[in-house]
Every structure is written in C-alpha cells, then in structure tokens.
C-alpha cells in the first residue's frame, strides 16, 4: 500500500514540483514505510514552496523524532504550532507530541 502511495506521489511531484501536497504525501508515505531520512527530504522540499504549511512541519517532526534528532523535532513542532491557532484540531496533538519528545530527550524534566 505505501509503496504505491510513494509511486503516486513521485508522479505528482514530477508533474508539478511546486505542489506542496505532493511532497507532503510523499513524505508521509516514506515515513510510514520507515524511511525517515527520505521522508525528511520530501517534507523539506515541500516547505521550500509552502513555508507556512503546519502539516509539513508536523510530519517533519515525526521524521526527525524517529532519527533521534529531538531538538530539531521540537523546533519543527514549535514552528507548526506558531502557524495555527489553539482552535485548530492539531494544536493539542502538537503540544502532546512536543511533551513526549522532550521526555525522550531528557529535557522533559525541565518542562
């Protein structure tokens, strides 16, 4: 299922390399397959065209977290949270995920 999603997203980004949702879909699929570095690359590429897309930052944080790059993941979550309002359904998810990463990194003791 995910390899097919990667193939479709690659087609979309080949047709329009400035389509952030194509890069988002590619990054998510790659991440769900466990290819976190490739996921990071795809999401970062999407951010080049959509630097205010909180979804890209949220999934980038997931990829960075899985690579053990906790401080960078926290920074990505902070960027995502700064782009949305507390009324957004992802606000609490971001806050909780940030707390979990801080605990893993050891910074949670100071949180």
Give the pLDDT confidence of 24-42 residue by residue, as tens digits: 999 999 999 999 999 999 9
* pLDDT confidence band for 2 (50 / 70 / 90): confident
The answer for residues whose C-beta is within 8 angstroms of residue 38's C-beta and 6 or more apart is 30
| 12-22 tens-digit pLDDT | 999 999 999 99
Q: Please give the Cα distance from 82 to 107 (Å, whole number).
A: 21
Q: Write the DSSP symbol of residue 88.
A: S
**pTM for this entry:** 0.92
Which range marks the domain in which residue 62 is found? Answer: 2-110
Evaluate whether 105 touches 71 at the Cβ level (below 8 Å). Answer: yes
- pLDDT score of 111: 43
Helix (H) or strand (E) holding 17: none
CATH number at residue 9: 1.25.40.10
* Total structural domains within the chain: 1
Token look-up 């329009």 returns: 16
* pLDDT confidence band for 108 (50 / 70 / 90): low
What is the radius of gyration, based on Cα positions, of the chain? 14
């Amino acid at each position: 299922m995910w390899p097919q999603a990667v193939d479709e997203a690659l087609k979309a980004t080949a047709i329009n390399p400035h389509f952030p949702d194509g890069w988002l879909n590619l990054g998510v699929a790659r991440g769900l397959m466990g290819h976190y570095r490739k996921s990071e690359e795809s999401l970062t590429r999407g951010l080049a065209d959509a630097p205010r897309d909180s979804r890209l930052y949220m999934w980038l944080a997931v990829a960075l977290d899985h690579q053990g790059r906790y401080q960078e993941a926290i920074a990505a979550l902070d960027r995502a949270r700064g782009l949305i309002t507390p009324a957004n359904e992802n606000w609490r998810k971001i806050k909780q995920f940030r707390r979990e990463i801080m605990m893993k990194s050891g910074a949670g003791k100071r949180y």
